[in-house]
Amino acid sequence: MNLNHVFVCGNPALDFAATLRARRSARFEMFVTPDRLNAWYLESGVVDMIVPGTEDGVEQATTVREAIYQLVTDRRLGGGFDAESLGVLNDAARKPPATPQLTATGRRTEATPEQALSSVARCAVELLSGPDVPLMKECGNPECTRVYIDRSRGMRRQWCGMDSCGNKIKAAAYRARKRTTTAPAAQ
């Protein structure tokens, strides 16, 4: 199952947190089935092969995802970490992660959903305790709640991605300018 997820955040943990879209408005859930969750693990490159998951695995993943989002928000806004979210993330990170293996054809990572989730949780631990914290920004699209790593020159990036949000905002601004400049002539 290929869902063509968008990976624009610069870190697997941030891309994972972004799988609940439009948190402030329409809230679109990407992980509605175990297959969709497993598709994300595969498409993200966290694993190369994953065993089928369960509904409990989806519930566990969404709980960890929400903890990651909360902790990223806490860190980005300069506050202390939410204790419950910290416990959820650390519990997931303590589990055995997906382990890459060297094969005759290269590297291959096979995992259970729990191992894949542990790998994502460990990415979050590394991100939130590492040098990229000052580079985290929330997308400038008011309807988007993705947080991304801004490695642009001068840290001037405004959107999580041009295809997903930047073009929408620029097109809307252009249409608004066009309406403003043509409105007086219509009178």
Domain covering 12-186, topology: Jann2411-like fold (1.10.3300)
Mean pLDDT of the chain: 89
pTM attached to this predicted model: 0.86
Residue extents of the structural domains in the chain:
12-186
pLDDT for residue 86 is more than 90: yes
Summarised one tens digit per residue, pLDDT across range 107-162 is 999 999 999 999 999 999 999 999 999 999 999 888 888 999 999 988 888 888 76
pLDDT at 178: 66
Instruction: Report, as an integer, the average pLDDT of 73-100.
Output: 96
List pLDDT tens digits, range 21-42: 888 887 889 999 999 999 999 9
Confidence band of 50 (pLDDT split at 50, 70, 90): very high
CA angle 81/118/72 to nearest 5° reads 25
Q: Find out whether 31 and 3 touch, Cβ atoms under 8 Å.
A: no
Choice among 61-65, 110-114, 132-136, 165-169 with the minimum mean pLDDT: 165-169
pLDDT at 6: 77
